[in-house]
Amino acid sequence: MQHDGRGTFAVEEIEDSEYNTRIRVEYVSLDAEDEQDEFWQAVFSFEAIDKHRSLKIVPFLYLRKDKDMKAHPFQISIERDEQSANVQAVKVLQKSRELDENTFQVFEFAKVRGEREDTSCLSLFALNTEDLAEFEDHEVDKLLQTHVASFLTESIANEMDPNIILLRLNSLTPNSEDSKSISSVSDGEKFMVSFTKKTFNRKREATNLRQIQEESLQTFEEKVRVKDEQFRQEISEKFGVTNQNDTSFNFTTETVSNLLGSIGHYNGPLKRWMKSMGHTFVKTDDFMIDLLTACPSRARYARGFSWDEGFHLLPICKWDFNLCSEIFRSWFYTMESDGWLPNE
């Protein structure tokens, strides 16, 4: 795993032996023409761990509206390259009321390597459901359970104004003349996601934008190679592990990356331990608090913890002073008027 914590470079590999699958995610943020613009790309690769056995995985990517849709409304329009249920490339335009009139967020999804057969595809599933408001961002699997039958069997369920869009990466194997069944993504397939936030002169320019093209994968891989080299050099200099072939270098890279990759924005109520309320945590105010914090054990402890953050900040401050400074400020701005700093 490699992660710079600055949102500019990350590589992560996940191995799941039960499903004979190795998933590699590479992410690079690219220089935009204007400071207000944003441009990043990511590639998802799927490989069989044991080449004598097939993969057993049907991965999906999703894009959803914020839970608090009133505060952050935006429109999604979907455009496909092919007027077919099984699409090879998908584009999603988002427009938020918070942004300028002609500022769009354009998501492009496309298969960039793999068997170019008709049976192998990127399938779209767009849905407008009231259920979405009930689930947190990380709970989309619960939503899927509600709609799992149609999600796994239908190629597309389109809505005019979807609040969640899912892209299923799989092969469709003909069962008979009339029906098809879904099979696993094929070995060696790669899918690219490209994000562009930019102010256009006209909406048509956003609609016509094509960041993923024939040579995109090759260009992307070269950028990852350069970023990888810069990242390794910076790890060497800042943590004093000069021999990049040594196990201590890999250990440092893995642990620092896991910590940096866990830094995120959190939002929620502040709770204070109250003896007078029967030894329980009680909300101090009705308003929500924002917090920028590291949270390396998200699976077991998915929130910031001020005691641990002290230890997290030791390597973070060594790595990047700006990051360190923002996290320090974020924690200390949560302080109550009596000088109490929240534990978590």
Partner 1 sequence: MVMPLKVLIEQAEQAKLDDEEGVKPVTGLLFDLYSRWVAWFDFYNNKVDNPSIPCTFSYRDRTAKATSQSGFEDYPRASNVNELFEIHLDLQTWMIEFAGLM
The reply to whether 239 sits near partner 1 by the rule CB under 8 A is no
The reply to whether 300 sits near partner 1 by the rule CB under 8 A is no
267 φ/ψ angles, rounded to the nearest 5 degrees: -145, 130
For partner 1, give the closer residue by CB, 132 or 316: 316
Binding segment for partner 1 (CB under 8 A), chosen from 62-70, 121-129, 165-173, 333-341, is 333-341
Q: Looking at 172, 309, 319, 323, which residue binds partner 1 (CB under 8 A)?
A: 309
The reply to whether 332 sits near partner 1 by the rule CB under 8 A is yes
Q: Looking at 1, 77, 281, 296, which residue binds partner 1 (CB under 8 A)?
A: 281
The reply to whether 331 sits near partner 1 by the rule CB under 8 A is yes
For partner 1, give the closer residue by CB, 133 or 274: 274
Binding segment for partner 1 (CB under 8 A), chosen from 16-24, 250-258, 273-281, 290-298, is 273-281
Q: How many residues bind partner 1 (CB under 8 A)?
A: 29
Residue 98: CB minimum distance to partner 1, A: 28
Question: Which residues would be at the binding site for partner 1 (CB under 8 A)?
Answer: 273-275, 279, 281, 305-311, 313-314, 317, 321-322, 324-325, 328-329, 331-332, 335, 338-341, 343
